[in-house]
Structure 1
Amino acid sequence: MATEDARYRQSSQYRLWSFSPLHLQSLREKTNSLAVTHISNRLRTSSPPVDPLPDFLTPTDEAMLLNFYVVDLLRAAQFCELSSEIQATAAIFFRRFYLTNSLMTYPPRALTMTCIFFACKAEGFYYRLQKFVDRFPGITGEEVLAAEYILCQGLRFAFDVRHPYRALEGAIMELRRLGDFDENRLARAHHRTREILKFSPLLTDAYFHYTPSQIMFGALAMADEGLLQRLLRDAFAGQSESARNQVLEMIQGCRAMLEKEPPERRTTYWDASGSKDTMKPLNKKLKKCRDPDRVDLIALQKARREQALQKPKPKVAMKEDGDVFGKSNGKSKDEERDIKRRRVAAGGGGDLFGPPL
């Protein structure tokens, strides 16, 4: 256990993408504030200037829209028949990107496709670009690739995502070893826990606050509290009750977070009239306050390439012999050459490498 914990603490997921709730809230408020300031200045200086300014999204609005697009992403990835790991990686990429970038800055609809396609690469699954875009009418390969470098920058080039699925398999194996429960109960808990892990952590901030094993235990507690208690009793045998209670409190906190987005919402998210009534005005609001310079990612990519080509290359100054081998003490270049020739002639009769040994 200690070895696994130490290994996880060395991962980019822990070092770069783990936050306390207050820190996470502060980051989102800062991202929203910077986007509003930048877009306001851009709209005021546009031709013609925009007056009055549109009503911008609040951090709460962005959080609601973010989940809306994560569900959209998961359905698209499922339509492509991708594995649970790839779907989860794409969703976490999307959530990480929009932690330091606002939905108002980069269009989320375009980023969903890029996240799915790039998650396939990150998980070592080859998906031909043309085959991928053929599944989605109206999407081109150029649009998918246009946001790849932007996505990499937003992810801080950290593409490793640790998921709780392997931890679940280990927990079920351990429960079978203990032999206290019948196979039907274990099979039901296994299936239910995996269904939770495929949805609930991706619609909440669980990956930002908890380790993969803690997320797994939180989901297992939702599926079957008795199995969780049995695992903890075996794991903390001979240890203090306070240590066990501390871990259990952490797991219950994760469980409470996961219960806010139960897996049943995966199929009913779009059907609930409340969701439609809420998301429709928010999407309209988003269209009015987007960054005009980043709406078209293809044009943005081309502009950056042209700017890079037009940038003058620095001239490399050619060094003289004197800069490398020392100054010539005021002698001209011709005098230096004559001195070198005389030295060669005196040393070996014109032999470049001197007289024979």
Structure 2
Amino acid sequence: MFATSTQRKCWTFGDESALSTLREKHNLNFISHHGAQVDDYQRYNYFLSPEEERLLLRQYELHLKDFCKRFSPPMPKCVIGTAFHYFKRFYLYNSTMDYHPKEILATCVYLSCKVEEFNVSIGQFVANIKGDREKASDIILNNELLLMQQLNYNLTIHNPFRPVEGFLIDIKTRCSLANPERLRTGIDEFLEKVFLTDACLLYAPSQIALAAVLHAASKEQENLDSYVTDTLFHDAGPDKLAILIEAVRKIRSLVKLVESPARERVRAVEKKLDKCRNQENNPDSEIYKKRVREALDEDDMPRTEPMRMSLDTSGVSQVLSPSAS
């Protein structure tokens, strides 16, 4: 249950400022470690600022959504939701300058397939990736343990999809709303957008689910306020009800603010990142390949030609050699 889960205990935060504090901390940690000689006033001319990191991550969240939607065989919603949780959690405690999101993204999706028992082999998984699939496999499998470690092995995720089904059953049973199934389209649209916000790090899955149901009802020009106050939570005290109503309002406000980052701005940040990222974690770099060579016997040494994972504008992962980029 969510109330006793690691998600509630370790990965649900009080407000957006708590998330911003964590992100700024790890941004500054990276800069202090890799740019000790850089003047404070000049550091963001070379390194990414926290705002630039957030911009980049918003773009890659869109890529994550598109990749999952295009996945074959069709990917269950719970796998997509879990992948978003992992991606967001990872970058609360890591900088994009340390680990490029184009490499962590695919690993989050692959791990979520395993955890949610969506049984696809690594071969089937990378069949959805354009380019050199062997290289894609290497990157994903090399990052898998790192991802689990950074998640503190808290891999079980409570998504809002089951609570949505519970609300719909209850509405059919105890509410006079005609044909509640017509709410599904609006609910799905809302939940697709909600994972592009920080709501899953701030609110319970049931609160997100209720926000989705109420949003869908309003789109159908239906009002479920009396159902919520008089039926669903008739035994709740006024304080608890007020907290719930405020949570739903904030979740819906977050979704309303979702917008795609400006493409030109994203390109500029990515160019900046190529210069300031940690080369020890860059599969293209000589220092990375040297470390691999030192860690493996010659007979077991993997292919080390230059490789770079990226995502095209349709959100489908690619592994490109420099000549193809």
TM-score when normalising by structure 2: 0.79
2:190 paired residue number: 196
Q: 1:304 to 1:127 in 2, by over 3 A?
A: farther
Q: 1:237 to 1:92 in 2, by over 3 A?
A: closer
1:232 paired residue number: 229
Report 1:158-197 matches (<5 A).
158-183=154-179, 186-197=180-191
**Conserved in 1, the CA contact under 8 Å of 2:61 and 2:196?**
yes
Q: 1:52 to 1:100 in 2, by over 3 A?
A: closer
**Conserved in 2, the CA contact under 8 Å of 1:219 and 1:258?**
no
- In 1, Cα distance between the equivalents of 2:11 and 2:296? 33
Runs (5+) with no aligned partner, structure 1: 1-6, 45-50, 308-357
Q: 1:124 to 1:278 in 2, by over 3 A?
A: same
Shift of 1:300: 8.3
1:199-228, CA deviations, whole angstroms, 9 ceiling, x for partnerless residues? 222111101110000111122222224125
1:240-274, CA deviations, whole angstroms, 9 ceiling, x for partnerless residues? 5444333212221222122222xxx6xxx4xxxx6
> How many aligned residue pairs are there?
281
- In 1, Cα distance between the equivalents of 2:173 and 2:272? 55
Question: Of 62, 68, 73, which aligns to 2:59?
Answer: 68
Report 1:285-304 matches (<5 A).
285-296=272-283, 299=289, 302=292
Q: 1:292 to 1:175 in 2, by over 3 A?
A: same
Between stretches 55-64 and 296-305, larger displacement belongs to 296-305
Which residue identity is paired with 2:66?
Answer: R
- In 1, Cα distance between the equivalents of 2:56 and 2:138? 25
1:249 aligns with 2:246: yes
Q: 1:278 to 1:235 in 2, by over 3 A?
A: same
Shift of 1:169: 0.7
Which residue identity is paired with 2:252?
Answer: R
* CA-based RMSD: 2.6
Larger radius of gyration: 1
**Conserved in 2, the CA contact under 8 Å of 1:89 and 1:161?**
yes
- In 2, Cα distance between the equivalents of 1:163 and 1:11? 12
Shift of 1:289: 1.0
1:278-333, CA deviations, whole angstroms, 9 ceiling, x for partnerless residues? 211111111111011111297488378559xxxxxxxxxxxxxxxxxxxxxxxxxx
Report 1:1-357 matches (<5 A).
7-21=1-15, 22-41=17-36, 55-80=46-71, 81-136=74-129, 137-139=131-133, 140=135, 141-183=137-179, 186-197=180-191, 199-225=192-218, 226-237=223-234, 240-261=237-258, 269=260, 275-296=262-283, 299=289, 302=292, 305=295
Q: Give the 3-state SS of the residue equivalent to 1:224 in structure 2.
A: helix
- In 2, Cα distance between the equivalents of 1:15 and 1:157? 14
2:316 paired residue number: none
Q: Give the 3-state SS of the residue equivalent to 2:92 in structure 1.
A: helix
1:160-189, CA deviations, whole angstroms, 9 ceiling, x for partnerless residues? 111001111111111111241111xx2222
**Conserved in 2, the CA contact under 8 Å of 1:54 and 1:289?**
no
**Conserved in 1, the CA contact under 8 Å of 2:113 and 2:120?**
yes
**Conserved in 1, the CA contact under 8 Å of 2:171 and 2:177?**
yes
Structure possessing the higher relative contact order (Cα contacts under 8 Å, 6 or more residues apart): 2
Percent same amino acid among aligned pairs?
A: 26
